[in-house]
Each structure stands twice: as structure tokens, then as C-alpha cells.
Amino acid sequence: MTHAASGSSCRISVFGAGAWGTALAQAFADCHRVRLWARDPRQVDEMGRARENARYLPGIPLSHALEFEPDFAQAARDADLHLVVTPLAGLRETVRTLRRLTPGTPLLWACKGLEAGSGKLPHEIIREELGGDAPSGVLTGPSFAAEVARGLPTAITLAAADAAFAEEWVAALHQPRLRIYANTDVVGCEIGGAVKNVMAIAAGVSDGMGFGLNARAALITRGLAEISRLGRALGARTETLMGLAGMGDLILTCTGDLSRNRRVGLALAQGKTLADILRDLGHVAEGVSTAREVVSLARRLQVEMPICEAVDALLRHDLSARTAVEQLLARDPRHE
């Protein structure tokens, strides 16, 4: 933590060279020494030669200060901070390997969702793999990778149970065009980041069916209510859910054309099969796997989440897109 506390340049290793991992590596390379690791050595070689992530961020030149590393152990070595930006399905394996190679290195994760099968949030995976006192936190909030990689203004949240850890790494990583705000409500930040992807699928379906902006606004508003109910049941703070990691991320993902989850909903509204949509997308859309786990968690906690249930039914139980949205819009009126 010495480098973070002093504000000097840090050695940051980023694991995962998808769109978001590459964008964060690009952003931090302006002030720090950054190594970017990808599972596919060919991708690493191509990025190093072309200074571009042609698969995930085509057309965006990558900084010449950014280093590319195909060897996992070498990437982890001598880092002041590990930043894991794999899909959520790869978080557990990545963290387990890091614990074996470089125990005790501060760690941030930027994965969103609930683990398939277990329904665990990322911080629960971290606790199981690293222990409860590991120096770690989550980086999340309203952010499209392409805009961050281009250096466009963005504000996100760094949440950690240890307030000093959050504040020190915010001081180290905060930049004029990538503004980072400290938070200690890890659960609230993670729930906001996970469930908004499910809501974005619903918003995409509504838009794709031509239901209009009024319907989209209703879905976003009621979606925020669902996120808040689930978050509070898990101990999250209301102000977190109304902030960047909750409402901010929800609005961006439900309205932005760069949202992968919204694009899934738009394609479902066109009658495409889920398998074809995911193949054509070429990226992970975390809302697809998260919907089932959110519904399961909500039922265990006896939290009403009709939008998430409709998305889950649409994805897994052959409910048509039109029927799913019309059922939601036809729900009996209640006190808001």
C-alpha cells in the first residue's frame, strides 16, 4: 500500500483483456506502469503489435506505455495491485491462482453478477478464496468500455469494507477523466452492478417491441425499486443504490446503445434465439446468467422482483418477448 498512499506511480497487473479490462488498463497506463494479461497468447501478441484490441475495442489506439503479458505468473509478479476484469465465471479461478503465486497483494475486481450455481456475489467469492481480511475491493459504476478507452469523462466507485483501503486506492487511481469515488458498501455496489444487467435486457425488449420512452422510463424506475428491495434485504445502504453504482449504472445500461445486455433484449424482441444472439454478440452479457440467480436469491429472501422474474422466464421458459413486457405493464396498480 505504500505506493498507493504516497500517490506515486504503481505497478498494476490487469487480468482479462476483454473490452473493460483493456479500457481500464489503457486509462491507468497514463499514470502507472500497467501490464495487461489475456488468456489467449495470440490475442496478447496481436495487441502488442497493432496497439489495438481488434476483437473488443476495434479502432481505438492503445497507449504505447501499456505492456502486454501472455504469462500469468509473470503478469502477477512484483505488482502493487492486481485488477481482475475477467467475466464473473473466471473470477474464482483467477483469484485462487493469484493467492498461490503472490499472496497478500492488494486486489480489486471489476466483475459484475452472481456466480452461476452458487448465487454468490463477487466479494463472497473473494472471501472464500482469500479470507475475510484480504486487502481488496470492487471497482464498479456507470461506464462503457469504449468511452473509457477513448479518455471520455467517466465517474465510477471503488468500494471496500476497509475504508482506508478504498480511500488510498482512490487517491492512487483517480484521474481528471476517470473520477473514482470511495465507498464502504460493497454489497450495495455489487447488487447494483449485477441486477442492472437484467433490467437492461427488459429495457431492450421494451424498446425493441416499440413500446416507447414512457414504458422504458417505467421499467427503469420500477427496476430501481426492485434493486433497492433486494439490496436492502442484503444489508445494502439506500444511498449507495441511489448513487453511481446503483441508479447511475442502471440508467446507463438501460438506455445506452453500447450496452450488451440491452442489445440482447433488442434482439429477443426481434424473435432471435438466445443462442444466436450470444454467438453474434461476441461478448459476455452477464445479465443472461445473472437473471436466474437473482430470481433464486430473491425468492429465498422473499423479495418481490417481477421484472427479473419476467426476464428469467423469457430467457429460460420460452415466454415470448411481447407477453413478458405486456404482463409487466398490465400488473395491478399499487402504492409506489
Residues designated catalytic: 196
For 60-132, strand residue ranges (E) read 67-69, 81-84, 107-109
Task: Name which of 96, 84, 91 is nearest 121 in CA terms.
Answer: 91
Grid cell for residue 112:
459484475
- What does the DSSP 8-state code read for residue 246? I
Q: What are the residue ranges of helices labelled H in 159-211?
A: 163-173, 186-208
CB within 8 Å of 108: residues ≥ 6 apart: 81, 82, 83, 84, 136, 137, 138, 139, 158, 169
Phi and psi at 204, nearest 5°, equal -65, -40
Task: Determine contact, residues 218/212, Cβ cutoff 8 Å.
Answer: no
Task: Determine contact, residues 159/166, Cβ cutoff 8 Å.
Answer: yes
Task: Name which of 70, 65, 40 is nearest 55 in CA terms.
Answer: 40
In whole angstroms, give the CA distance from residue 298 to residue 282: 30
User: For residue 49, what are the CA distances in angstroms to 46, 68, 75, 334?
Assistant: 5, 10, 18, 59
In whole angstroms, give the CA distance from residue 223 to residue 199: 6
